[in-house]
Structure 1
Amino acid sequence: MVEQITKGIKISVKTKYNGTSYRNNRLYYVFAYFVTIENNSSQTVKLTDRFWKIFDSLNQTEIVEGEGVVGQTPILKPKENYSYSSGCFLESNIGAMTGFYTMKNMNTFEKFNVHIPSFQLAIPILSN
């Protein structure tokens, strides 16, 4: 598990390799990632947007951005947390992801970015 704290918001990420899959006659390596967002600040915040950089050792970096996460824009009061899982398909057996969430302070309406720590996506034999 990797973790990072920005302005009192802690992001924790765990990953899991889910095997291979064929799509359009191409082999892909399937990875799941599990994110927990903990609000250790004294302010209520709302996750409004996400920005991901997905590195695949055989391809160009893919950028994924948009509103919320998994169709939600959670609001976290102090000491609350929110967890979700998602996944990605890589053409190689090793890659990485990093990025940030845009949060809005619900008291001041100030927006700020919370960094997502870089994490590896690798088949188990490569992780040892």
Structure 2
Amino acid sequence: MYRTVTQSIEVCAEPSYLSSQSDPESRHFVWAYRITITNHSPETVQVVSRYWHITDETGRVQEVRGEGVVGEQPVLQPGDSYTYTSGCPLTAPSGIMVGRYTMRGPHGAFFDVDIPAFSLDLPGAAARIN
């Protein structure tokens, strides 16, 4: 599991390779990732948007921006957690994802929360530095 904390908001990421949805012969590799966002602050916050920077082992970069996460903009009271699962296809057998959430805090103030960089690697493959 990968973990980071920004302004008392903890983000944990756990990737897993989806062999059943992948086709290595066609250079189609798919990973799921489970994200848990935990509000350790004394204030209520809301996930407003997301940004992902995805780089595969060949250096190809994808940037993904959008509202909320998986179609939602969850509100987290102090102590609350929100978990969701999403996916990432690549045309290479390894890569790395990193990003940030834009949050709305008290009184409508916006701030960014880091998503930890996490590696997308085939199970059993030699570790690569992406």
- Shorter-chain TM-score above 0.5: yes
| Superposed displacement of residue 115, structure 1 | 0.2
Instruction: Specify the code of the residue in structure 2 equivalent to 1:95.
Output: G
Give 1 or 2: higher strand fraction.
1
> What SS does the corresponding residue of 1:33 show, helix, strand or coil?
strand
In structure 2, what is the equivalent of residue 111 of structure 1?
110
Moved over 6 A (4+): none
> What SS does the corresponding residue of 2:88 show, helix, strand or coil?
strand
In structure 2, what is the equivalent of residue 31 of structure 1?
31
Instruction: Specify the code of the residue in structure 2 equivalent to 1:21.
Output: S
| Superposed displacement of residue 21, structure 1 | 3.0
| Superposed displacement of residue 127, structure 1 | 5.6
Gaps of 5+ in 1: none
CA deviation vs aligned residue, 1:35-85 (integer Å, no higher than 9, x gap): 000000000000000000011113521000010000000000000000000
Structure 1 vs Structure 2 CA RMSD: 1.5
**Distance of aligned partners of 1:76 and 1:122 in 2 relative to their CA distance in 1, 3 Å threshold:** same
> What SS does the corresponding residue of 2:124 show, helix, strand or coil?
helix
- For residues 40-119 of structure 1, what are the structure 2 equivalents within 5 Å? 40-105=40-105, 107-119=106-118
Gaps of 5+ in 2: none
What's the TM-score, normalizing by structure 2? 0.90
Query: Structure 1 residue 13 and structure 2 residue 21: aligned?
Result: no
Identity %: 38
Instruction: Specify the code of the residue in structure 2 equivalent to 1:98.
Output: V
| Superposed displacement of residue 126, structure 1 | 2.4
Q: 2-side partners of 1:81 and 1:21: how far apart? A: 30
CA deviation vs aligned residue, 1:84-113 (integer Å, no higher than 9, x gap): 0001111111101000000000x2211000
> What SS does the corresponding residue of 1:124 show, helix, strand or coil?
coil
Q: How many residues align?
A: 125
Instruction: Specify the code of the residue in structure 1 equivalent to 2:22.
Output: S
**C-alpha contact (below 8 Å) 1:28/1:92 kept by paired residues:** yes
Q: 2-side partners of 1:90 and 1:46: how far apart? A: 30
